[in-house]
C-alpha cells in the first residue's frame, strides 16, 4: 500500500493524528507538513516527498520503522527519523520532537 500513496493522499491528512501503540500507552504524532522534494520524471513514477510529524515533548522516538494508525488511512509502517525539536518562545520549556518520513 505504501508504494501507491502519494503526497496528495497525505496532504488531506495534515493536522490530523497518527497513533503509535506502545507497551505502556498510545503516542500521538501530528502530521504537520507534506513537502514535495522532487517531481516525477515519468508518468509511471510518483513524486518524491517527505512528511513532517510533531510528537510529544517528553517522549523521544529513535530512528526506526513504526506502525502508525490513522483514522482514515488505516495502518502504515513508516521509517521515522528524528530531525530536531520545535522551537518554543519560552527558554524554560523544550518543544515537541519532530520526525520525518521520506518517500522516494
Question: Would you list the domain boundaries of the chain?
Answer: 2-103
0.85 exceeded by pTM: yes
How far lies 10's CA from each of 22, 25, 52, 91, in Å?
23, 25, 11, 33
Mean local confidence (pLDDT), 65-94: 86
Mean local confidence (pLDDT), 71-81: 96
Q: In the numeric block, which cell numbers belong to residue 76?
A: 502504515
Residue from 46, 57, 65 nearest 95 by CA:
57
If phi over 0 gives left and psi between -120 and 50 gives alpha, with beta otherwise, what is residue 44?
alpha
pLDDT of 88 strictly over 70: no
* CA separation for the pair 51, 77 (Å, rounded): 13
Per-residue pLDDT of 9-65, as tens digits, reads 999 999 999 999 877 888 999 999 999 988 777 776 778 999 999 998 888 999 999
Q: pLDDT-derived band of residue 8, with 50, 70 and 90 as boundaries?
A: very high
Amino acid at each position: 500500500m505504501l508504494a501507491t500513496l502519494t503526497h496528495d493522499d497525505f496532504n488531506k491528512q495534515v493536522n490530523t493524528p497518527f497513533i503509535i501503540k506502545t507497551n505502556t500507552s498510545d503516542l500521538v504524532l501530528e502530521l504537520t507538513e507534506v513537502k514535495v522534494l522532487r517531481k516525477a520524471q515519468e508518468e509511471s513514477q510518483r513524486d518524491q516527498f517527505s512528511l513532517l510529524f510533531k510528537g510529544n515533548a517528553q517522549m523521544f522516538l529513535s530512528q526506526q520503522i513504526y506502525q502508525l494508525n490513522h483514522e482514515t488511512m488505516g495502518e502504515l509502517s513508516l521509517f521515522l527519523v528524528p530531525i530536531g525539536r520545535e522551537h518554543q518562545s519560552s527558554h524554560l520549556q523544550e518543544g515537541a520532537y519532530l520526525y520525518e518520513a521520506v518517500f522516494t
